[in-house]
Amino acid sequence: MFVDNVKVYVKAGDGGDGMVAFRREKYVPDGGPAGGDGGKGASVIFEVDEGLRTLMDFRYQRHFKGQRGENGKPKNQHGRGAEDFIVRVPPGTTVTDDDTGEVIADLTTHGERAVIASGGRGGRGNTRFATPANPAPELSEKGEPGVERYINLELKVLADVGLVGFPSVGKSTLLSVVSAARPKIADYHFTTLSPNLGMVSTEDGRSFVMADLPGLIEGAHEGVGLGHQFLRHIERTRVILHVIDMSGLEGRDPWDDYVKINEELRQYNLRLLERPQVIVANKMDIPGAEERLQAFQEQLSEEVPVFPISAYTKKGLEPMLREVANLVETTPEFPLYEDEEEEQGVVYKYEKREEPFVISRDDDGAYVLSGPEIEKMFKMTDFSRDESVRRFSRKMRHLGIDEALRKKGAVDGDTVRLLDFEFEFIE
């Protein structure tokens, strides 16, 4: 089965906890703090493996979790960092954040890597908190939580040339005679349900990758028929090979087919029409095809090369392949995602700082604290030690949470909830 779109969950490893420890060595009076830091959690990294051709494996494993770092140790020994979790993906995989739609990575070349979720840093041991005023702190941090997110994986096949056209115009037959690929061929629509790739070699020793893609129909840009399942795979191709049936056996007009397919490409993405296009007039061995080709060329006002061929009898293939090879050599790759910094230099944008906390009311009247910064502080606090609790209280006051609760109407004795923890508001 060819799988080209899947949603998965990734969770990087949390950092290890820092330790509270003191030196207990003979003949060393007042040894002082000696708690080590925790180790870094494992990051989830995607790596391209050219041996993979589909996202099928992600149908059976949709959760990827990195290991947490090792906790700190006595004698100022740091915990061991966890090994990164490597996930292998096929070339041509685009990774996007499910919540924001942001493109995290576009992975195309073998061995290319991208960090999808960063591991949390290790918590600091009590040695880090020693000051002249407090030389022996009983205070440490828990490890930072690793990044977790839902992501969408979308596979867009890596091919130099993409075959487009209505169903049953002979795309699969053409691929089978110019390469060693053996796609399914039958005389009914939508025989091809997934892309097929083939390596094509010309007589002068040049080669390129050709993709036989599922047939287009009217309304494909809106998802009709195979819709986007087809169109996403043509985005990476450099040259479009537009196959048109000149036999007239199905009662369709070749010119009408040509206009409709180009309109679908334009509606899906305007940049698709920037690619050089070669028209392949197929099934020229059928009586009446010559007259239809002549009428088609009279209506063609653009300077698009037209090659009459018969994929069935293998007539006229070599001139067409030479022209396609020339275009592949001279046409640069089309970037799918523009990088403003590369094109225009460094671009500085004003981004509004995310609020460190948000206060809301629950149905039972409790005040609910939420927000990435305050929740991270909470998860990294060791509430089993009084000194850590006092430090957390000071940080809350510094963020302005006490004052914000008063403005919201909180009075002495009201319940304040943060994640699964509840405490009383005290004036």
Is 175 annotated among the ligand-binding residues?
no
Is 19 annotated among the ligand-binding residues?
no
Mean pLDDT across 179-196: 56
Rounded mean pLDDT of the chain?
83
Residue 324's nearest CA partner among 312, 303, 307, 302 is 307
Q: Report the alpha-carbon distance of residue 383 to residue 282 in Å, rounded.
A: 75
- For residue 113, the cross-strand partners are 47
Report whether pLDDT(122) > 80.
yes
Residue of higher predicted confidence among 4 and 39: 39
Is 192 annotated among the ligand-binding residues?
yes
Is 214 annotated among the ligand-binding residues?
yes
First to last CA, the chain: 64
Residue 114: the pLDDT is 94
Is 212 annotated among the ligand-binding residues?
yes
Is the domain spanning 1-155 CATH 1.20.1540.10? The answer is: no
Residue 80: the pLDDT is 95
Residue 191: the pLDDT is 45
Is 284 annotated among the ligand-binding residues?
yes
Is 312 annotated among the ligand-binding residues?
yes
Residue 3: the pLDDT is 66
pLDDT band at 116 (very low <50, low <70, confident <90, very high): very high
Total residues found in the chain within this entry: 427
Is 213 annotated among the ligand-binding residues?
yes
Of the candidate ranges 184-198, 281-295, 328-342, the one whose mean pLDDT is the lowest: 184-198
Q: Report the alpha-carbon distance of residue 71 to residue 16 in Å, rounded.
A: 4
Mean pLDDT across 127-140: 91
Report whether pLDDT(427) > 90.
no
Is 190 annotated among the ligand-binding residues?
yes
pLDDT band at 30 (very low <50, low <70, confident <90, very high): confident
Strand 367-370 relative to strand 415-418, pairing: parallel
pLDDT band at 346 (very low <50, low <70, confident <90, very high): low
Of the candidate ranges 68-82, 278-292, 324-338, the one whose mean pLDDT is the lowest: 324-338
Mean pLDDT across 62-77: 94
Is 186 annotated among the ligand-binding residues?
no
Is 118 annotated among the ligand-binding residues?
no
- For residue 5, the cross-strand partners are 154
Mean pLDDT across 271-288: 85
Of the candidate ranges 164-178, 216-230, 254-268, the one whose mean pLDDT is the lowest: 216-230
pLDDT band at 349 (very low <50, low <70, confident <90, very high): low
Residue 336's nearest CA partner among 196, 195, 208, 155 is 155
Is 73 annotated among the ligand-binding residues?
no
pLDDT, one tens digit per residue, over 246-272 is: 887 777 888 888 888 888 777 776 567
* Three-class DSSP category at 162: strand
Is 96 annotated among the ligand-binding residues?
no
* DSSP state letter for 214: P
Which top CATH class is 161-330? alpha beta
* Three-class DSSP category at 176: helix
Report whether pLDDT(1) > 50.
no
Is 191 annotated among the ligand-binding residues?
yes
What tokens appear for 59 in the block? Answer: 């149908």
Name 277's Cβ contacts closer than 8 Å, sequence gap at least 6. Answer: 239, 240, 241, 242, 304
Domain range annotation of the chain: 1-155, 161-330, 358-424
* Three-class DSSP category at 164: strand
Do 386 and 399 meet the contact criterion of CB atoms below 8 Å apart? Answer: no
In the sheet that holds 113-117, the strands lie side by side as 85-89, 44-48, 113-117
Is 107 annotated among the ligand-binding residues?
no
Residue 249: the pLDDT is 77
Q: What is the largest CA-CA distance in the chain?
A: 106
Is 366 annotated among the ligand-binding residues?
no
Residue of higher predicted confidence among 234 and 415: 415
pLDDT, one tens digit per residue, over 368-412 is: 999 888 999 999 999 888 999 899 889 988 988 888 888 888 888
Q: Report the alpha-carbon distance of residue 61 to residue 2 in Å, rounded.
A: 16
Q: For the beta carbon of residue 31, count every other beta carbon within 10 angstroms.
A: 12
Residue 226: the pLDDT is 45
Mean pLDDT across 22-32: 81
Is 170 annotated among the ligand-binding residues?
yes
Name 348's Cβ contacts closer than 8 Å, sequence gap at least 6. Answer: none
Residue 181: the pLDDT is 59
Residue of higher predicted confidence among 86 and 288: 86
Residue of higher predicted confidence among 189 and 258: 258
CATH code that applies to domain 358-424: 3.30.300.350
Confidence (pTM): 0.74
Report whether pLDDT(193) > 70.
no
Residue 168: the pLDDT is 78
Report whether pLDDT(190) > 60.
no
Of the candidate ranges 169-178, 241-250, 270-279, 368-377, the one whose mean pLDDT is the lowest: 270-279
